[in-house]
Amino acid sequence: MGVKLTETDDDLVENHEINVTPFIDVMLVLLIIFMVAAPLATVDVNVDLPAAAVEPQQRPDKPLFVTVQPDLSLNLGNDTISRDALGATLDAQTNGDKEQRIFLRADKTVPYGELMEVMNELRRTGYLKVALVALEQVAPIGETTTQP
Protein backbone atom coordinates (compact mmCIF):
# COMPACT_ATOMS: atom_id res chain seq x y z
CA MET A 1 0.00 0.00 0.00
CA GLY A 2 1.44 3.29 -1.03
CA VAL A 3 0.82 6.70 0.47
CA LYS A 4 0.98 10.03 -1.32
CA LEU A 5 1.91 13.07 0.65
CA THR A 6 0.68 16.35 -0.65
CA GLU A 7 1.62 19.65 0.86
CA THR A 8 -1.80 21.21 0.49
CA ASP A 9 -3.85 18.48 2.15
CA ASP A 10 -3.26 16.97 5.58
CA ASP A 11 -5.29 13.79 4.75
CA LEU A 12 -3.30 10.75 3.68
CA VAL A 13 -4.50 9.29 0.36
CA GLU A 14 -4.06 5.58 -0.28
CA ASN A 15 -2.47 4.39 -3.51
CA HIS A 16 -4.27 1.23 -4.79
CA GLU A 17 -1.66 0.08 -7.27
CA ILE A 18 -0.03 -3.36 -6.80
CA ASN A 19 3.62 -3.81 -7.65
CA VAL A 20 3.65 -7.01 -9.74
CA THR A 21 7.33 -6.91 -10.66
CA PRO A 22 8.48 -9.33 -7.90
CA PHE A 23 5.64 -11.72 -8.84
CA ILE A 24 6.71 -11.70 -12.49
CA ASP A 25 10.35 -12.25 -11.49
CA VAL A 26 9.45 -15.31 -9.41
CA MET A 27 7.30 -16.73 -12.22
CA LEU A 28 10.10 -16.30 -14.77
CA VAL A 29 12.60 -18.05 -12.48
CA LEU A 30 10.16 -20.95 -11.99
CA LEU A 31 9.61 -21.14 -15.74
CA ILE A 32 13.34 -21.40 -16.37
CA ILE A 33 13.72 -24.08 -13.69
CA PHE A 34 10.94 -26.20 -15.21
CA MET A 35 12.29 -25.71 -18.73
CA VAL A 36 15.68 -27.03 -17.62
CA ALA A 37 14.34 -29.85 -15.40
CA ALA A 38 11.66 -31.23 -17.75
CA PRO A 39 14.02 -32.78 -20.33
CA LEU A 40 16.04 -34.40 -17.53
CA ALA A 41 12.94 -36.19 -16.22
CA THR A 42 12.25 -38.05 -19.46
CA VAL A 43 13.78 -41.27 -20.74
CA ASP A 44 15.91 -40.96 -23.87
CA VAL A 45 15.27 -44.49 -25.16
CA ASN A 46 12.46 -44.61 -27.70
CA VAL A 47 10.41 -47.78 -27.37
CA ASP A 48 7.15 -48.59 -29.09
CA LEU A 49 5.44 -50.68 -26.41
CA PRO A 50 2.62 -53.02 -27.41
CA ALA A 51 -0.75 -52.78 -25.74
CA ALA A 52 -1.69 -55.56 -23.34
CA ALA A 53 -5.16 -56.73 -22.48
CA VAL A 54 -4.42 -59.17 -19.68
CA GLU A 55 -7.19 -60.82 -17.78
CA PRO A 56 -6.53 -62.12 -14.28
CA GLN A 57 -5.65 -65.79 -14.30
CA GLN A 58 -8.05 -68.11 -12.58
CA ARG A 59 -6.69 -70.38 -9.92
CA PRO A 60 -6.84 -74.05 -10.82
CA ASP A 61 -9.43 -76.20 -9.09
CA LYS A 62 -6.83 -78.75 -8.02
CA PRO A 63 -3.38 -77.12 -7.91
CA LEU A 64 -0.37 -79.44 -7.88
CA PHE A 65 1.92 -78.61 -4.98
CA VAL A 66 5.46 -79.99 -4.91
CA THR A 67 6.86 -79.45 -1.41
CA VAL A 68 10.50 -79.68 -0.34
CA GLN A 69 10.60 -80.69 3.33
CA PRO A 70 13.35 -79.62 5.78
CA ASP A 71 14.88 -83.12 5.48
CA LEU A 72 14.98 -82.55 1.65
CA SER A 73 12.30 -85.14 0.95
CA LEU A 74 9.67 -84.30 -1.69
CA ASN A 75 5.90 -84.37 -1.41
CA LEU A 76 3.43 -84.18 -4.26
CA GLY A 77 0.29 -82.96 -2.57
CA ASN A 78 0.23 -85.00 0.65
CA ASP A 79 2.13 -88.03 -0.72
CA THR A 80 5.87 -88.45 -0.21
CA ILE A 81 7.74 -89.26 -3.43
CA SER A 82 11.37 -89.84 -4.38
CA ARG A 83 13.26 -87.41 -6.60
CA ASP A 84 13.71 -90.10 -9.23
CA ALA A 85 9.95 -90.63 -9.46
CA LEU A 86 9.08 -86.91 -9.61
CA GLY A 87 8.61 -86.78 -13.39
CA ALA A 88 6.63 -90.01 -13.65
CA THR A 89 4.39 -89.08 -10.72
CA LEU A 90 3.70 -85.64 -12.19
CA ASP A 91 2.90 -87.20 -15.57
CA ALA A 92 0.40 -89.50 -13.85
CA GLN A 93 -1.19 -86.61 -11.94
CA THR A 94 -1.41 -84.27 -14.95
CA ASN A 95 -2.21 -86.95 -17.54
CA GLY A 96 0.92 -85.88 -19.44
CA ASP A 97 -0.12 -82.21 -19.65
CA LYS A 98 3.23 -80.40 -19.50
CA GLU A 99 1.51 -77.00 -19.70
CA GLN A 100 -0.07 -77.35 -16.26
CA ARG A 101 1.36 -75.03 -13.64
CA ILE A 102 3.27 -76.68 -10.79
CA PHE A 103 3.32 -74.83 -7.46
CA LEU A 104 6.67 -75.32 -5.72
CA ARG A 105 7.02 -74.58 -2.03
CA ALA A 106 9.85 -75.22 0.39
CA ASP A 107 10.58 -74.89 4.08
CA LYS A 108 12.63 -71.85 5.16
CA THR A 109 15.48 -74.09 6.22
CA VAL A 110 15.89 -75.70 2.78
CA PRO A 111 19.09 -74.46 1.10
CA TYR A 112 18.66 -72.48 -2.08
CA GLY A 113 20.75 -74.97 -4.04
CA GLU A 114 18.43 -77.84 -3.13
CA LEU A 115 15.40 -75.83 -4.24
CA MET A 116 17.15 -75.11 -7.55
CA GLU A 117 17.85 -78.82 -8.03
CA VAL A 118 14.14 -79.58 -7.70
CA MET A 119 13.34 -76.79 -10.18
CA ASN A 120 15.93 -78.19 -12.60
CA GLU A 121 14.39 -81.65 -12.26
CA LEU A 122 10.98 -80.15 -13.07
CA ARG A 123 12.47 -78.49 -16.16
CA ARG A 124 14.19 -81.70 -17.26
CA THR A 125 10.88 -83.55 -17.10
CA GLY A 126 9.24 -80.85 -19.26
CA TYR A 127 7.31 -78.84 -16.67
CA LEU A 128 8.34 -75.28 -17.41
CA LYS A 129 5.46 -73.48 -15.71
CA VAL A 130 6.65 -73.45 -12.11
CA ALA A 131 5.25 -71.00 -9.56
CA LEU A 132 7.00 -70.42 -6.25
CA VAL A 133 4.69 -70.31 -3.24
CA ALA A 134 5.23 -68.07 -0.21
CA LEU A 135 3.13 -66.80 2.64
CA GLU A 136 1.75 -63.32 2.36
CA GLN A 137 3.10 -60.67 4.69
CA VAL A 138 1.29 -60.03 7.94
CA ALA A 139 -1.38 -57.40 7.45
CA PRO A 140 -1.85 -54.45 9.78
CA ILE A 141 -4.42 -54.78 12.54
CA GLY A 142 -7.94 -54.89 11.18
CA GLU A 143 -7.01 -56.39 7.79
CA THR A 144 -7.10 -60.04 6.89
CA THR A 145 -4.76 -62.06 4.71
CA THR A 146 -5.27 -65.26 2.81
CA GLN A 147 -2.81 -68.08 2.74
CA PRO A 148 -2.16 -70.21 -0.33
pLDDT given at position 131 = 86
What's the pLDDT tens digit per position in 64-76? 888 888 888 888 8
HSE-up of residue 2 (Cα within 13 Å, Cβ side) = 7
**46 phi and psi angles, rounded to 5 deg:** -85, 120
What's the pLDDT tens digit per position in 129-142? 988 877 655 545 55
Q: Assign 45 a pLDDT band (cuts: 50, 70, 90).
A: very low
